[in-house]
Amino acid sequence: MKKFRNLLANGTLVLVLLAVLALVVRFTLAQGTRPEQEINEPEGIEDTTASVYNVIPIQGRLTDNNGNPLDGYHVITFTLYATSYDTTPLCQDDDSVNVDNGLFNAEMDWCTSSDIDGKRLFLGIQVEGDTEMTPRKEIYPVPYAFSLRPGAIISGSLSSAVLHVENWSSSGRGVRVYAMSETGTNYGIVGASRSPDGYGGYFYNNGGGTGLYSNAIFETGAAYGIHGESESGQGRGVYGESSNVSGGIGVEGSSLLGSGVYGTSASGIGVYGNTDNVSHDYGFYTPDNLYSSNYHTTGAIMQIVQNADSIPLETGDVVAFSGIGTPLIGTNQPVIQVVEAESANSTAVAGVVYGRYIIETLNAEPEKAVSEITPEGIAAPGDYLLVVVHGPAQVKASALTSALQPGDLLSSAGQAGYAAKAAEVTLSGVEVAVPGTVLGKVLEPLAQGEALIYIFVTLQ
């Protein structure tokens, strides 16, 4: 016959409820007054980083077989099981419990979050040499514990976070989430916002590091560090922005062997670049070689050159090749040098001056690139400039010797820096422009005098 007759396990539920309530109150104090991006401890709250006491409080009443309350110390074994009939415990604790007139308070240690993870549990109780009491007592969740079980929803209307998690370890994780199935379309984390001004996920780093880091560590197949997608016709799969007024990069891509940035579209534009700068410098910029199977343009193709003349050059000047200069810093490509074209029908004609060029931008780090790359004004001797070598350009044109009509061929004029109708020679009975002297073709007429007109530069 058992020596111990009764243990009021229902008391367990009362104290478990109190313990969880204390946990919720403590958690609320730890995060309720903390600003969104504040990392210092708020005043008036002590030890907010301390862990909640990880024990299960148990209260009961212990009597002998005749119902008489017991006193003194007794060893009680508390065991958690997954079912009412399991023989293998999830966790267990032996305590020497002080019993006063049958009543006692005990604390069950050695259980972890992997043992108590929202599944149904049963408590077994054994007193000293007796067998375990039957039946085992099912542990029911208290109301607040419902928010912690699988499938639970934590809902609220707060100006601060509904759930706030902190880990102060230098090598820790704030939250770790795994989608464990190795098949199917599963997600580690899903974030959503219903507001058109909101964010499905928002990350920041106010210590100078990375706001969001993503890594696809599988070394084969189509694995993506970040995959962005938008179903809106005006949306963006990925949008990057640098808000620092002194520079920065909106989106940067890097690869050890493949493509740093890869763009594709089923029917539109694979990569689209745009700048809000009024000079349009640059929607796309690269200091490297550029490859394309073909290209389309509505503008002009320009060459970076250096003014090797003793006089300044300005927009519309016709220039001629004069030699080659020292390669630019960071490149092995020597710079072409030009001077103002002075002779008529020169075979050294190089193109038409577009404007000055701030050469420092060619080798600048992308995040430090200046906004004014092609400023207005003349290019002094030694300055760098852009010369149109193909496409539309405004040129200083002269109609002093012959009126100009669209389609007429142009060469350098006898007047320095000007273009005029190309001289012709007869070859095999056919009148043609002097070979190697053609600068371009007239796009708008000039009946007399001198003016800036549009031509299409096409060196021949």
> According to the model, what pLDDT value does residue 20 have?
34
Q: How far apart are CA 65 and CA 3, in angstroms?
A: 5
DSSP labels, 37-51: T--SPPTT---TTSP
Q: What residues are paired with 345 via a beta bridge? A: none
Beta-carbon-side half-sphere exposure of residue 71 (alpha carbons within 13 Å): 2
Say what the pLDDT of residue 232 is. Answer: 84
- pLDDT at residue number 361: 56
DSSP, collapsed to helix, strand or coil, labels residue 60 as: strand
> Any idea which residue has 């006193």 for tokens?
71
Q: Using an 8 Å Cβ cutoff, are 269 and 296 in contact?
A: no
Beta strands 349-356 and 424-427: pairing type?
unpaired
| The model's pTM | 0.60
Count of CB atoms situated within 10 Å of the CB of 332: 6
22/144 Cα distance (integer angstroms):
11
pLDDT for 428 equals: 80
User: In terms of CATH architecture, what is 4-148?
Assistant: Sandwich (2.60)
The pLDDT assigned to 352 comes to 98
Write down the pLDDT at residue 283: 80
Q: Are strands 450-458 and 103-108 parallel, antiparallel or unpaired?
A: unpaired
Cis preceding-peptide flag for 282 (omega within 30 of 0): yes
Note down pLDDT in tens along the chain; length 460 residues: 345 544 543 333 333 333 332 333 222 223 333 333 333 434 444 554 555 566 888 998 998 888 899 999 999 999 999 999 999 999 999 999 999 999 999 998 888 877 877 788 999 999 998 999 999 999 887 765 666 667 777 777 888 888 888 899 999 999 989 999 989 999 989 999 999 899 888 988 888 888 888 888 877 877 888 888 888 888 888 888 888 877 778 888 888 888 888 888 887 788 888 887 777 777 887 777 888 889 888 899 999 999 999 999 999 999 999 999 988 776 778 999 999 999 999 999 999 999 998 876 555 565 555 556 778 889 999 999 999 999 999 999 999 999 999 999 999 999 999 999 999 888 888 888 999 999 999 999 999 999 999 999 999 8
Query: Distance of alpha carbon 160 from its chain centroid, rounded?
Result: 24
Alpha-carbon span 242 to 238, nearest angstrom: 14
**Quick one: pLDDT at residue 22?**
31
CA distances 111 to 70, 76, 80, 115, 290, Å, are: 28, 16, 9, 6, 63
All residues at 6 or more sequence positions from 167 whose CB lies less than 8 Å from its CB, including other chains: 173, 174
How far apart, in Å, do the first and last CA atoms of the chain sit?
Answer: 117
Amino acid at 141: P
Quote the tokens at residue 258: 């493949």
| CB atoms inside a 10 Å sphere around CB 417 | 23
Cβ-contact 19, 58 below 8 angstroms = no
Tell me which residue of 458, 460, 449, 381 sits closest to 418, measured CA to CA.
449
DSSP assignment of 158-171, as one string? Answer: -SS-SS------TT
d(CA 419, CA 345): 9
Boundaries of every domain in the chain = 4-148, 301-458
In this structure, are strands 301-307 and 336-340 parallel, antiparallel, or unpaired? parallel
Which residue is it, tokens 């074994």? 77
Structure tokens that stand for 344 in this block: 């008529």
**SS3 sequence of 325-394:** CCCCCCCCCCCEEEEECCCCCCCCEEEEEEEECCHHHHCCCHHHCCCCCCCCCCECCCCEEEEEEEEEEE
